[in-house]
Amino acid sequence: MKRIVLLTDFSETARNAAVYGIQMFQEKKAEFYLFHAFDVEFSGSPYIMQVKDEMAEESQKGLKKELSILHRQFPNVRIHLISRYGSLIEVLRMEMSEAGLMPDMVILGCRGESALENFLLGSNAFDVIRHINMPLIVVPRTCSYRKPKKLVFATDLKTIDDNIALPLFELVRYLNAELMFVNVLEDEYINRLEAEETIAGYFPDVKLSFHFIDDSDICKGICSFAGDNGADMVVMIRYNYSFFERVFHPSITKKMVLQPEFPMIILHGLPKN
């Protein structure tokens, strides 16, 4: 049974992401974990234990309130509550350990006008993407769920491995969705036929297509392609630092990211020598 972690800070943004995640995976009979982390900024305070206890109580109250709201919409979905003391990254890493939860997917919201804009502005979402090596789904604040039928995979066609392919293959098969690989043309030579054959081997019986676009602005090119082709989600690989950071480079202007809002799947590959 799949374990889906729904990160919350009790905001409407987080609640919307939780609803999105439950709607996506409820037919898979997954177990959901509503997860809240709280921390004390001034650890040297003599009242630290009192403050910590008060925050722990507030965390539990907030989780129970969110659970009540979610159960009104999803009365038959099993949702566990997890409250942890510490920084979000620290406690998530603990849950990823062998003694912890070991989630199959982490779902979180972002507050920007689009997922891309949110990353540019900096957020907890980007911190999670940078430091948590688990499959992630990042849901823009105003995005409502509709069953994804087309996923656009923005890639350089060179950084696909089992660690990336397996969770994506399982998700695409579960959704019965089409997977569209899109590569923004670069100066470096790519043997397209060989790359396509290699990638296709990871996704048997999945409807695949490969596309190459020429745009000096990678972010704009990917968003335009996704919008023009009716995509429901965009997939990115985190360990491909040069490609990833070119997409989210701070110099990209705000107007370039004010595109239709796409939830994003972030996958983490194994580092290559």
**CATH at residue 198:** 3.40.50.620
User: Is 50 exceeded by the pLDDT of residue 120?
Assistant: no
Neighbour tally for 16: CB within 10 Å: 18
Range of the domain at 15: 3-140
Mapped onto helix, strand or coil, the DSSP state of residue 73 is helix
Structural domain count of the chain: 2
Together in a domain, 77 and 193: no
Of 93-97, 132-136, 205-209, where does mean pLDDT reach its minimum? 93-97
Together in a domain, 10 and 127: yes
- pTM score: 0.85
Of 75-89, 111-125, 198-212, where does mean pLDDT reach its minimum? 111-125
Together in a domain, 26 and 107: yes
DSSP 148: -
Give the percent of the chain with pLDDT over 90. Answer: 42
Alpha helices by DSSP H, the chain: 12-25, 48-73, 88-95, 115-121, 124-131, 162-175, 192-200, 218-228, 241-247, 254-257
Neighbour tally for 176: CB within 10 Å: 11
User: Is 70 exceeded by the pLDDT of residue 151?
Assistant: yes
- Asked whether the beta carbons of 16 and 138 are under 8 A apart, the reply is no
Together in a domain, 107 and 177: no
Cα dihedral 31/261/186/208 (nearest 10): 50
Chosen domain end from 79, 109, 140 = 140
Of 111-115, 142-146, 245-249, 259-263, where does mean pLDDT reach its minimum? 245-249
Together in a domain, 170 and 74: no
User: Is 80 exceeded by the pLDDT of residue 85?
Assistant: yes
Chosen domain end from 114, 140, 166 = 140
